[in-house]
Amino acid sequence: MISQMRMQENYINALDIRWSYNHAKKMEKICSNPKLGYRTSGSGAELKTGDMLAETMRKLGFPKVYKDAIKVDAWEFNKAELTFEDRHGKIRKVQLGAYQTHFVTSPSEVYVPIMKAVNGIAVRGAHPVAVLLTLLLPADTEESFLRELMKKANEAAGILHIQIAGGHTEVSENCSVPYVTATAIGSVEGEALFENHIRPGQDIVLTGQVGCEGAGLLATRYEERLAERYPLHMIEKAQAFLQELSILPEAATAIKSNAGAMHDVSGGGIFASLWELAESAGVGLAVDLKAIPIRQECVEVCEFFGISPYEMLSGGSLLITTDNGEHLVRDLKEAGILAAVIGKITDNNNRVVINQEEKRFLDRPVSDEFSKIKGENL
C-alpha cells in the first residue's frame, strides 16, 4: 500500500501542471463559435483540435499515435444570436448562452451555477431572460432533495428576474454526487463587450469583495468544523454569501457608464481573473493589493483552512476597465454597489500586484485554493 502511494505521489510530482494548463488554453482558442467559445461535436474546430492533440503526442515521443474515425451527429455552431420581432414590433436579439456546471452537496448550492451562468452573459452586455437546467443525480437521490433543490433554483431565478425555461433530469448509477448544469439565455441591444475594448491607461475597477463564493461554500459544507472555533452567526453570514453571487446590477451600471470591458471574478480568485483579463487583451496591469476589498468572515474562513482568499472562488465580484474609474465608482455607489479603483492597465506584459514595498508578478493560474482542501473539487 505504501509503495502504491509513493508511486502515485511520484507520478503527480512528475506532472508539468503549468504546461498542461497552457496546452488546454491553446485548445480553448480552437472553437466553432467566436463569441462563446463552443467547440461542437464533429465540427471543423473539433477535428482541428484532434489534429493538434495528435501532433502534441508525437512531439512528446509517443511511438504510435492513431486517429480513429467514428461517426457522430456533427453540427456547427456558427452563430450565438437569435433575432426576432416581439409582440410590440420591436426587433430583439437574443444571446445564447453561457453555461456553468457545479456539483452540489446541499440544495442551496444550486444558486452557484445559476448565478454564474447568468453572470457569464451579463459581462458581455447581454440582459438575461431565462436559464435551462440539466440535473445529473445519483441513483440513491431522495425525492425530498430534488424538491428542495428546485425550490432553491426557483428562488435564484426570482432574485435574478428570469425564468427557468426548461432542462433535463437524469439518474445515473455512475454518478456519485448531484451535478447541475445551468445554461443562460439573454438579449443584446447594440454590440456585445469583448476584450478588444481594453486599452493601456484605463482604470481597473472591482465591485464587491473577493473570496465570498469560496467562503460561502466552505461555510456550508464544513459548518460543524468551523463551529468549533467561530460563533454560529459568523458562519451563517458566510453561508449567505452564496445568495450574493449575481453581478447583474454591476454590469448594467457599468454599461451605462461606458465601460471598456468586464470580467467576472471566479475560479482562481482575483489574482487569476486579473491575469486572465490582461492576457485576453495582451496588456499588463498594476494593482494595489490594499485597495482590494475583502470581508472579515472570508478572512476567518480562509485562515481556518490555511488558504489564500485572493486565489479562491470569488463569484459576485466584477472587474471593469474604464477610462474614468472614479466616475464609474461614483455611479456604482449611487446604485448601492460597493466598488473601488484597484489599479491600471499598462502597455507592457507585466501583471503586478503591489503591497507597499513588495511586488508580486502574477503568473498563469494553475489551480484554485478551494481545490487544495481534501475532498473538494471545482
Q: What is the structure's pLDDT at 68?
A: 82
What share of the chain in percent tops pLDDT 90? 47
* pLDDT tens track for 288-320: 999 999 999 999 999 999 999 999 999 899 999
Query: Which range has the worst mean pLDDT, 63-67, 162-166, 267-271, 371-375?
Result: 371-375
- Mean pLDDT (the chain) is 85
CB-CB neighbours of 34 under 10 Å: 11
Q: What is the structure's pLDDT at 44?
A: 82
Model pTM score: 0.72
Instruction: Kindly report the CATH class assigned to 92-188.
Output: alpha beta
Query: Which range has the worst mean pLDDT, 20-34, 68-82, 100-114, 225-239?
Result: 68-82
Q: How many residues does the chain have?
A: 378
Segments of the chain assigned to CATH 3.90.650.10: 195-372
Burial class (CB in 10 A: 0-12, 13-18, 19+), 29: exposed
Q: Is residue 128 scored above 60 in pLDDT?
A: yes
Residues in CB range of 334: below 8 A, 6 or more apart = none
Segments of the chain assigned to CATH 3.30.1330.10: 92-188
Residue (of 206, 219, 214) closest to 102 by Cα position? 214
Under a CB-based contact definition with an 8 Å cutoff, are residues 131 and 96 in contact? no
Average pLDDT of the residues in 99-119: 82
Residue (of 219, 376, 188, 361) closest to 302 by Cα position? 219
Fold of 195-372: Phosphoribosyl-aminoimidazole Synthetase; Chain A, domain 2 (3.90.650)
pLDDT class for 5, splitting at 50, 70, 90?
A: low
Q: Is residue 378 scored above 50 in pLDDT?
A: no
Higher pLDDT, 252 or 69: 252
Q: How many CA atoms lie within 13 A of 180 on its CB side?
A: 26
